[in-house]
Amino acid sequence: MHLDKSIKVWINFWITSGIITTLGLMVWLLSGTHSKLAVIGGILTIAIADALSDALGIRVSQEWSGISSPRQIWESTIATFLAKFLFALTFMIPVLLINNLFTAVVVNAIRWLIALGYLSYTIAKSQKRGAWPVIRDHVIMAIFVIVVTYFVGMLIHSLIG
């Protein structure tokens, strides 16, 4: 299936954004609260707020450009919301299925870092670049977010908790 370049850019953006935002919040909530309820609430918050935010952003961008019909704008708005919402909910699966919250978060981190690595590989190959430098850079940036949010959660927990 051939996808328009702008669609590929959009898909790569929201997948990467969704992975890093959701993992960052999950890790922060894990280290800051150690509460499964808080992590589940955080995932649901991301699923709703981030999905609505991106849907509105797409809508405003299309309205501003003036090149989309009202029907296309609504289709893009709804598709963006549903895609982002459902994508974020997939982070809930390990949290609900695995009793140990730390293990569930680690499972999410591993599976989504692998997905980010694969996405990075496809980007590198589409640009005829070496895959490992692209994969390394993207995964290191994601791990940086995870580490920083973990320590911020620990800091807040030690100061307030």
Provide the whole-model pTM.
0.86
Give pLDDT, residue 56: 92
Domain with 56, as residue range(s), is 5-160
Closest CA to 56 of 76, 86, 85, 83: 76
8 Å CB contact between 94 and 107: yes
pLDDT in tens, 28-81: 999 999 999 999 999 999 999 999 998 999 889 888 888 878 888 888 889 889
Three-state SS at 112 = helix
pLDDT tens-digit series, residues 83-100: 899 999 999 999 999 999
Domain count, the chain: 1
**Which is nearest to 161 in space by CA: 72, 61, 57, 30?**
30
| Cβ–Cβ under 8 Å, residues 69 and 20 | no
pLDDT at 1: 52
Distance CA 35, CA 124 (A): 38
- Could you report the per-residue pLDDT of 12-33, keeping only the tens digit for each? 888 898 899 999 999 999 999 9
